[in-house]
Every structure is written in structure tokens, then in C-alpha cells.
Structure 1
């Protein structure tokens, strides 16, 4: 079956399956990029119509919707090729098979997305602004942070989502070593500045 999925007739569905798994892995382990802003509620302001029909009008995160669509496309395409093989002795060419699978997959995904939205009635988006990381504590992962020499740190937001950022000490004389924690107090662009927990200003915090 695996060898069959790598044939040209099945290749679009194999690619969709790999992308679906990749999205799941990115969300599960972060891959050092933290929370993806793609997980926004793109249906939050929809009044109905096409977005509702597609399953995007129920405050469903776009990554969940996209993963569901890829899964439905893969299942529909594989089923279409299996049926074609049973009737004609060979699968359809990948172009017409992909077109038919997209239509069937979109219909299936509408049902799947609406079902997911119903079982997630209390869902709230976990998308946060970059500035929301200020006043959070980060843990230095690698390298020693000095003024002019930032190092990588991990910050967990109020939703439990990990973010990976570059950090410099706020004060010229401070040094933040790997494993130490520090309070993020300001940022400039993508660079954050922090006070290490050993700083005397934080003794009472």
C-alpha cells in the first residue's frame, strides 16, 4: 500500500498526508518557532455564506480546519482511486482524481469542521500579541546573554504555549547564563530585554 501511495496517481494524496502530519508535528513540538499565528480564528467575524459553508464560520482555528481538509482530501482521493481501480483495473490520472477529491473532500470537511466546532463550545483563541510576553519570565536555553550579544530563551505564555525568543539583559552589567530565568521588561522589534531573577530589583517580585 505504501508503494502504491508513491505512484503518480496517488502522489497528490500522499503529499497532502505528509503536510497534514507536518502541521501536527509543528503544533505538537514547536520546532523552535513557538506558537504559530496561523492559528487565528478567521471565521470570527463571518456573517455566513461561503465561510459558513466551508466550516470557517464557527470560530474554528485555521490550522485545525486545514488539517481536517487535508485529511478529508487524502481519504477522498484514496477512495476514488481504489474505486476506479476496482471498476477499470487502474487508478485515474492524478489531475482528474485530485479535482474530484478536492470537491468530495471539501464537502466532507464541511461536516467535519462543523462537528469539531460543536465539540469545542468553550474554545478561546490562544493567539497573543508579542507585547503580551512582557512581564513573563523566560528560561535561557543556550548561550550566555550579554548586552549586545543576545541568546535564545523559552517563554511560556498564560495559555501554556511555548515561544522561543532572543534576549539581552536590560542592564549593561547583567549576564544571563543558560538555565537561568529572567523577567522580560521591554522589547525592540524581535529582541527582548530582561532582568535576571538574581537582579536586586526583582528580589521582592
Structure 2
């Protein structure tokens, strides 16, 4: 079988198999590249109940696991196509025709495989957040003093406990936020956040 994979008729499937092994090794050493945020990176207005579900991507399956499954299905169906052709005609068909048939059959098979994997794998919860989710959270100024027109860097911890470093200015024209002070992020313009210092009387209890 290994010798067959080195022939031109089986070349696409040998390449797919090699890529599948490579991705599997990446996953095995725990790089976590498969844990991509599908909602944030692949949405694009696509109906998750339609195309993504049909492809097997609707169950929050890590993208590299899905891709490994697809490559495996493509390899298996491609070899099967060539074996059937060889048994029927005495020789494998052209690699391009075999690849086209394997792509269709492999995609159909992968739909079943990916949905099955999604059911048995532990649930995956992404820690990616939208930038606006940092609003109404407190940040700590790390350097200098923030003034209007002179933002400075602050550290904000999101709901997952992950730290984000953002540029902040006081919300009030005359306000300042000194080094080490905490402030409530109240609005955003592009990458710049505006904050009200905790020392502001508006945030003090009555």
C-alpha cells in the first residue's frame, strides 16, 4: 500500500495523508491551534444552522480536528476510488478525476465523522471576547498619567481572567487618571477607551 501512495495516481492522497499526520502532531503537542473562535473568525453572516452544520462545523469542533478528519476522509475515499477503478479496469484512473470524486465523497463522509466527533469530544468554550466587552470593567493605569489628548496604557482583566492592555483617556475634559489608579471604562472610540477614575465623586457611594 505504501508503494501505491508513491505513484502519480495516488499522489494527492499521499499528500493529504502527510498533511493530516502533520496537523495531528501539532494537536498532539498541545499547541491548541485548533481552538479557533469559529463564531468570530468564520461567521461572515453564514447561517450556522445551515452550511456550517452541513459541513460539520456547527458543533464548535476545533478547526484543526475538523480539518484532520476531512483530510482523513479524502485520503480513504481517494484510495477506495482508485482501488475500485483498478479492480474494474485493471488500472487506476487519472489523479485529477480521482481527486474530484474523493473530494465529494470525502466531504459527505466527513460530515458524519465531524458530527460524531463533536458529540464525543469535551465541550469547547472559547475565551475570545469582543472589544466592547471590556466596557464597564475597571482598568489600572500602568504608566504615566492619563489626560485628555494624552492617553496612557492600562491593564484590564476580562470575565475569563485574561489581561488586556489598552490605551485610556479620562472621560472628562479636565480629568486625570494617575499611575496605579483604577478607572471604569465607559466608552470607546476605535482602539481608545475613555474612563472615569474611581476617585471621581460620581463613583463614590452616597
The two structures have a TM-score, normalised by structure 2, of 0.56
Alignment of 1:1-205 (within 5 A): 1-29=1-29, 34-36=31-33, 38-42=34-38, 46-120=47-121, 122-125=122-125
Deviation by residue 1:127-162 (Cα, 9 ceiling, x = unmatched): 668xxxxxxxxxxxxxxxxxxxxxxxxxxxx9xxxx
Gaps of 5+ in 1: 130-157, 159-184, 188-205
- Offset at 1:54? 0.6
- Extract structure 1 runs of 4+ deviating beyond 6 A: none
Distance 1:103 1:43, change over 3 A: farther
State the shift of 1:58 in Å.
Answer: 1.1
Structure 1 residue 119 displacement after superposition: 1.5
Q: Unaligned 5+ residue runs, structure 2? A: 130-159, 166-206
Distance between the aligned counterparts of 2:109 and 2:14, measured in 1? Answer: 18
Q: 1:43 to 1:53 in 2, by over 3 A?
A: farther
CA deviations on 1:48-75 (whole Å, 9 max, x unpaired) are 1111111111111111110000000000
